[in-house]
Structure 1
């Protein structure tokens, strides 16, 4: 087939769902108007570990409007099948109201159902729960780690002992919470043995599978609806206990039930980026060429599940290093289970590795970019595979030129602007885009419009828009003629909406389905004696604006509408799929970036202000530059939060999160954000997928924290190895 004209892909188009969002017509999970819905409020455990010895609900049940209170003493037993497809993490997932055990502070111990939200809220405050409390283990430094995940090549320890230059550095990264605008919520309704939930989720199919397993009903008896997600950053990548509570309460009440988590409940009702301690020892020659690195990482997980993320990969492949040893220990604590958060694994690994590279560059008096170039690997040394693409050198060159890196004075504390100490810093970035199987269904109607369906999500990157662009070009239609539908488990299954995989996986399946339909139409035309295209070679035909025509001879052709109507076709339909790169074992697939930043630090007060930031990214083909910019700038803002502000504080006496609110858990606001700019180097990765994309959502936060820490050092001469970087650390 002849290549299709690309009219939509690559264009900076506005969001197709933008008007719905700004006019309030986009319905989020708690906003669906379901007849007969009642309200439920979860009662949280006030201890960090122990057993429930009693639940007194008399005052609650006497309160006007309260309909019922459910807890472990009266809740039905749930199946909680342990199907391989529903097991998100190793371990035994939390089973709500199934026993008297308390595993962490904030665990659901009861739910109050009432006719109004106010009655449910007040009723929940009247529930009296008594406990046999134990002292919880919530301090990473004092807990016993589990068996480590290990990696090694060469002999890192022996090489390190003999290296001319050696460094032994320890970095600490605070726990971070996702804090999306929309808090998590669920409306559940049973119709006989069939369950429908309107849920905030980044994985429609995952929630469907979990509810099927928990309630022991067939998968097709569970429908999950999630057309809009008000931010997620990873918090919606699994089905959390509150969704089960909503479904349980709805079945017991025999009417729809709505559960909306408060902002406070988000801190223990959903996951978080775990706290890390990362010890990095490195050895190099006197020209800065790495000879050995030893990475030892400790991270928190829950006592009942083992959360693990890809924090080891960067240390295995990013720089040329003959000898590497790694040990990644998960430390079980009395906390709820962590979950992936934007740039998972790589955002934390990059802080340690890229800070250490800056420290090595300063010690050897080598420019930080030059040091990185001296350690550029020719291939992926973790597996010996060539790169599918690696334009990191170009990221350095473009970034240095555009940012004015040559104006940086390498001597710390040498540049001032009045009371402010000025510093420039940079860091490299890498991310491993995930790819999992995805399916899409497409239909071309006889009136020249198309509908494309997939059980994907859109938490903000613009899935509706970018997928419409892909479908429009593949079908040769205008954007307005394509209706891309997502967020419903009735649609074909797709992977989680995270890990920078949606554009690659769902987009490739979308392209496959729409290409099939276009080919069906072309085949129909060339075999139809009444068509102007009869007898033309199929590979010579393209479609533009809904009209099939001979390439180079636009006058010879006809519209989809005329072709289908004449052939008595109401529509053409096709299923598309994607199962990963065609040659996954022949190349190493990563996206890359380089982050440059300028900070000002008050010489007296230690306050850090970000003045400007530039990110240059090698992430394959850009489907929509406007959407990509939205992702890039948002990722930089998230990185600023991780570096300078975000920090969960736990009271180790009882496991309570002290700052479980947006007044005390600080996130960046407009006044914190400077001039941000993103540049995307030209190129596509056709080895990775037929669209040539690698995803933008994760790579844009990786490296930001390290670049800021390195800039702070350049400004002040003070090396801060703990996130967030506070004024106290600089005084």
Structure 2
């Protein structure tokens, strides 16, 4: 078939779901009107480790409106079948709610109150008295023995490091971060006989469906998960958390629908977080700055019952040309809940260490930071010997330096001032490994000339509804307003989790495949229909535009979809599409790239840091929707400002309590913190990666931001800060 005209893809469209959101008609998990729903409130453990010795529920059960209190003493035993392959559960033994008296972390659910009103449930939960045999929890990364490390090596890093002309031994520390989406995690659960329906905040309806089917030993078809809108996630909703099981359990016990909404405080221990890291990096180079060896020793927190790991090692293996590399990645089991992916997972933390170290090396050798990176550009992926699918990092540097005015940077620290403010410029490179997984979609072209496309995807904010509608509209030759893309229901064709920068590539490619098949059916029908103006025309010479099939080069010869289907008495045409993952993944190395430039001001007396402007330049393949891309990029850079300067989870190691479990004390960037921000996308596509030529944008835009800010702070002050967040006291 001829390539389709691209009218929607690449256009800066406003969100198709925007009117629903701004008028309040978009329904989030807790907002569905389910008949007979009652309310649940979780009682959290007030110790960090130990056993429950007694639970006094008398005062709570005596309150008006209380229907039931469920805890380990009266809860039924749940099957909890293995689910290591069907979800995002890390290795280990996942938390099993109300199945025993053990307390594994502060805030663990130990009981749930179900009442006719939310107020009654919350008040009654506060009346429950739980007594414990408490033990001292271990919550400090530096005071617990690590697990056996995951290792990687090429060459002889220790020997090469010993022989290097220039050697550096640096340790970087990154604190725990929490996702803090605006919508807190919520579930409504309803049983109809042995069938379970949940309205759940999730970034993966199929993953939640799979988890609930294994916990309750149900066939997959007996569990339905619905979630058309997600009020932010950043990774926090990419696995099914215990509160969802609690809601489903309570609903089954009471034989009534149950709504359970986590409080903001409960978000901090009821869902995951970006784990704390300590990253020691030893590197050696020649006197021209060409890397000879790097040794990475990485420690990260995980829970005592599950081992969470992320791709923090990849950047150190492939980003720069380095013949000798050694890595050891150790997880440290603590008495905390299990961490999870957070925007730019793995790479956002690795880049802080690696890109800060590259800046330190550049300063030591008196080489421009961009020039140092260019001298270490690899010709291929040295971790596996594969050529790059595309790698336009040099172009990111060139465009970014020109647009940002990098030539005005003074390499001497504390050389630039603006009144009381010390001014510094910094940059960092960025890389991310966009995951490619199988996805499915279903497209239907109706007799009235409209189309419906369905996929069990999610939209936590990047604009999945809109971008997928654009792809479908062009593939079918329809106006955007004629396409209805539906997501957020496990009844739809299966898709992977909404995260990892893979939704556009995976779901978009399946969407494209389904719509191409439907268009192909229509074309075949037309060329074989003696009454069609297109009868006898070669199928490959027909295109669809504005809801009409016509011969390429002869727009007058053709007919509308409505005419074609009506004449053939067809109510619709339908096809299933799929995407199996990157083609020939063993032949190329697939990554997205970027370069981040920042200017900061540091108050010379007070040590306050203000980001004054920021630019990101990205090699992210084809950009489906420029307006949505800007929304992603600017939001990701704001998240990077939070990681660099503000976000910091504080734990009281005496009992494992998170001290700042609220939005007043856990600081995130607000409007006053946001400078002039701009994003530039290199034009192009990567058809080796997927049929759409996209590479993913949602994660790469936070990678490199923290290191670029830290490097700018050094240029401004001469103080090298190796711990996030960068606080005033470190600069005084």
Q: TM-score scaled by structure 2?
A: 1.00
Q: Which residue of 1 aligns with 2:418?
A: 417
- What SS class does the counterpart of residue 7 from structure 1 fall into? coil
**2:473 maps to 1:472:** yes
Q: Which residue of 1 aligns with 2:110?
A: 109
CA offset at residue 85 of structure 1? Answer: 2.9
Which aligned pairs between 1:247-646 and structure 2 lie closer than 5 A? 247-646=248-647
CA offset at residue 394 of structure 1? Answer: 0.3
Q: 1-side partners of 2:468 and 2:556: how far apart?
A: 30
CA offset at residue 84 of structure 1? Answer: 4.1
Q: Which residue of 2 aligns with 1:232?
A: 233
Q: 2-side partners of 1:645 and 1:400: how far apart?
A: 27
Q: 2-side partners of 1:665 and 1:301: how far apart?
A: 21
Q: 1-side partners of 2:591 and 2:404: how far apart?
A: 24
CA offset at residue 83 of structure 1? Answer: 3.6
- What SS class does the counterpart of residue 86 from structure 1 fall into? coil
Q: 2-side partners of 1:106 and 1:567: how far apart?
A: 63
**2:49 maps to 1:49:** yes
- What SS class does the counterpart of residue 91 from structure 2 fall into? coil
Q: Which residue of 2 aligns with 1:98?
A: 99
Unaligned residue ranges in structure 2 (runs of 5+):
none
Unaligned residue ranges in structure 1 (runs of 5+):
none
Q: Which residue of 2 aligns with 1:18?
A: 18
- What SS class does the counterpart of residue 85 from structure 1 fall into? coil
Q: 2-side partners of 1:74 and 1:398: how far apart?
A: 64
Q: 2-side partners of 1:521 and 1:67: how far apart?
A: 57
Are the counterparts in 2 of residues 526 and 537 from structure 1 also a CA contact under 8 Å? Answer: yes
Q: 1-side partners of 2:151 and 2:656: how far apart?
A: 30
Q: 2-side partners of 1:502 and 1:6: how far apart?
A: 20
Q: 2-side partners of 1:580 and 1:232: how far apart?
A: 24
Runs of 4+ aligned structure 1 residues displaced above 4 Å come to none
Q: 1-side partners of 2:585 and 2:246: how far apart?
A: 41
- What SS class does the counterpart of residue 678 from structure 1 fall into? strand
Q: Which residue of 1 aligns with 2:208?
A: 207
Are the counterparts in 1 of residues 84 and 91 from structure 2 also a CA contact under 8 Å? Answer: no
CA offset at residue 36 of structure 1? Answer: 0.4
1:235-288 CA deviation, whole Å, 9 max, x = no partner? 000000000000000000100000000000000000000000000000000000
Q: 1-side partners of 2:429 and 2:506: how far apart?
A: 26
- What SS class does the counterpart of residue 216 from structure 1 fall into? coil
Q: 1-side partners of 2:178 and 2:582: how far apart?
A: 33
Q: Which residue of 2 aligns with 1:36?
A: 36
Q: 1-side partners of 2:170 and 2:476: how far apart?
A: 55
CA offset at residue 544 of structure 1? Answer: 0.2
- What SS class does the counterpart of residue 330 from structure 1 fall into? strand
Higher mean C-alpha displacement, 26-35 vs 75-84 = 75-84
CA RMSD of aligned residues (A): 0.5
- What SS class does the counterpart of residue 148 from structure 2 fall into? coil
CA offset at residue 683 of structure 1? Answer: 1.0
Are the counterparts in 2 of residues 309 and 345 from structure 1 also a CA contact under 8 Å? Answer: yes
Are the counterparts in 2 of residues 606 and 728 from structure 1 also a CA contact under 8 Å? Answer: yes
Q: 2-side partners of 1:440 and 1:636: how far apart?
A: 32
Q: Which residue of 1 aligns with 2:27?
A: 27
Are the counterparts in 1 of residues 164 and 286 from structure 2 also a CA contact under 8 Å? Answer: yes
Q: Which residue of 1 aligns with 2:169?
A: 168
Q: 1-side partners of 2:14 and 2:553: how far apart?
A: 31
Q: 2-side partners of 1:203 and 1:448: how far apart?
A: 31
- What SS class does the counterpart of residue 709 from structure 1 fall into? helix
Q: 2-side partners of 1:226 and 1:729: how far apart?
A: 44
1:137-171 CA deviation, whole Å, 9 max, x = no partner? 00000001001000000000000001000000000
Q: 2-side partners of 1:681 and 1:424: how far apart?
A: 23
Are the counterparts in 2 of residues 598 and 612 from structure 1 also a CA contact under 8 Å? Answer: yes
Are the counterparts in 2 of residues 422 and 601 from structure 1 also a CA contact under 8 Å? Answer: yes
1:363-410 CA deviation, whole Å, 9 max, x = no partner? 000000000000000000000000000000000000000000000000
- What SS class does the counterpart of residue 353 from structure 1 fall into? helix
- What SS class does the counterpart of residue 696 from structure 2 fall into? coil
**2:3 maps to 1:3:** yes
Are the counterparts in 2 of residues 85 and 209 from structure 1 also a CA contact under 8 Å? Answer: no
Are the counterparts in 1 of residues 633 and 697 from structure 2 also a CA contact under 8 Å? Answer: yes
CA offset at residue 86 of structure 1? Answer: 3.4
CA offset at residue 89 of structure 1? Answer: 1.1
1:571-595 CA deviation, whole Å, 9 max, x = no partner? 0000000011221110000000000
Are the counterparts in 2 of residues 86 and 213 from structure 1 also a CA contact under 8 Å? Answer: no
Q: 2-side partners of 1:439 and 1:503: how far apart?
A: 12
Q: TM-score scaled by structure 1?
A: 1.00
